[in-house]
Chain A
């Protein structure tokens, strides 16, 4: 029985699907802003963790079984691939999901600290979308300009995201992931625990 409770069931898969959809909807809505100015693309590491903290924290309390975050990351990788974000980032998304899953599992999905940490790690999936920009910088730049973006946009994009800044971006991603998780936890407590949904 004990073992049975730890395995993902049909109901959990549905919950996972729903929250992935929400997460992606948030990502998509915010992602559109990136076309206004490239600095917003770099600022995803701040905006996205904060925005997705609430749904993800609710998600963490809803399932509490190993594999939940991994499946989310696999789905995200598939969606990102279809959405044209490139195949380079996909494995990284899955790896960060897997690591986040292990961390949350070590806290039994109940420990506050571990959950916060796990969400911080999970947010590396945002950075993995920058990966193609770094690795294929030269051709990416050319593609952007040939693809119709202005030289100004491309220059700003590479000023914001390059090999030097990626370290900062990763750290920011993690830090704001943790902050987002703390805020998310507070909001979940404020709204959902009172309503008896969690």
Chain B
């Protein structure tokens, strides 16, 4: 199933909106759960089983812990670490899963033509596309830097926090700058930044699935807001 990038963006928007408003009653929790399950189901439909399972387990475990083992009165180190872990996961996981799904399944060409259709200024669109693409690169570069340091026996920069930071940050910046140069060379050869309007190979069209999902998300938001603020 192919979703339109606009639907995906709308999904990101709605899910982060709902994740932002905290759930307090069972109805709100139910909506939140359903909303979180949508991107997981979509991941399964895209045949990304392992990541779907991983997200599902991480979210599920945190949720169970949070709902059944942690109360207002939990104190102590283990409890506060657990709260930390569960808090992060439950609060940010829905948006994270959605963002992950969107980044993994949207081709950059699709994204750009979608941005063009929505009349987003080129500057923002290009930069946003780069940001989207760049997180995995940063992670990759970072782990290669770590490998290189381990190979030469530099562990944690000798316990000095500043050096620890410097040893990782500087090489990371070096490689990122270089990658940036290559990226812009590649983009310019493909006509980015030219004077004429760019055409796109991909024709975007909203299909039945898009309309269904969008109306479902809208309905969920309306119900959520209704229950939270007016009932």
**Contact indicator A149/B75 (Cβ below 8 Å):** no
Which range contains the number of B residues in contact with the other chain?
35 or more
**Contact indicator A150/B130 (Cβ below 8 Å):** no
**Contact indicator B91/A84 (Cβ below 8 Å):** yes
Jot down 14 A-B pairs with beta carbons below 8 A, ordered by A.
A13-B126, A14-B184, A15-B180, A17-B134, A18-B180, A35-B83, A35-B88, A51-B165, A82-B12, A143-B24, A147-B91, A187-B166, A192-B173, A197-B177
Most buried by B among A16, A18, A71, A147: A18
A143 to B87, CA, bound (A): 12
Q: A13-B126, A58-B173 are known contacts; what are 4 more A-B pairs with Cβ within 8 Å?
A: A10-B188, A17-B126, A20-B131, A81-B16
Partner of A71, one of B19, B123, B184: B123
Partner of A149, one of B19, B83, B122: B83
Does A92 have its Cβ within 8 Å of any Cβ on chain B? no
A83 to B176, CA, bound (A): 23
**Contact indicator B138/A25 (Cβ below 8 Å):** yes
Partner of A195, one of B73, B79, B135, B174: B174
Does A1 have its Cβ within 8 Å of any Cβ on chain B? no
User: Dominant SS at the A interface?
Assistant: helix
**Contact indicator B22/A143 (Cβ below 8 Å):** yes
The 6 closest A-B pairs by CB, nearest first: A17-B130, A10-B193, A35-B84, A143-B22, A21-B134, A13-B126
A25 to B139, CA, bound (A): 9
66-107 of chain B: CB within 8 A of chain A: 66-67, 70-75, 79-81, 83-88, 90-92, 95, 99
Binds B, one of A72-80, A102-110, A112-120, A170-178: A72-80
**Contact indicator A10/B187 (Cβ below 8 Å):** yes
Instruction: Given A84-B20, A148-B70, check contact A14 B124 (CB 8 Å).
Output: no
A125 to B67, CA, bound (A): 33
59-110 of chain A: CB within 8 A of chain B: 62, 67, 71, 74-75, 78-79, 81-87
A152 to B83, CA, bound (A): 11
B residues lining the A interface (CB < 8 Å): 12-13, 16-17, 19-24, 66-67, 70-75, 79-81, 83-88, 90-92, 95, 99, 122-124, 126-131, 134-135, 138, 165-166, 169-170, 172-174, 176-177, 179-180, 183-184, 187-188, 192-193
Does A135 have its Cβ within 8 Å of any Cβ on chain B? no
Contacts of A143 in B (CB 8 A): 21-22, 24
> How many residues on chain A are close to B (CB under 8 Å)?
54
A144 to B72, CA, bound (A): 10
Q: How far is the CB of B206 from chain A (nearest CB, A)?
A: 22
Q: How far is the CB of A86 from chain B (nearest CB, A)?
A: 6
Partner of A151, one of B72, B85, B127, B166: B72
**Contact indicator A17/B80 (Cβ below 8 Å):** no
Q: How far is the CB of B231 from chain A (nearest CB, A)?
A: 16
A51 to B169, CA, bound (A): 9
**Contact indicator A153/B127 (Cβ below 8 Å):** no
Identify the closest chain B residue to A150 (Cβ). Answer: B74
Identify the closest chain B residue to A29 (Cβ). Answer: B142
Does A24 have its Cβ within 8 Å of any Cβ on chain B? yes
Partner of B83, one of A20, A75, A153: A153
**Contact indicator A36/B80 (Cβ below 8 Å):** yes
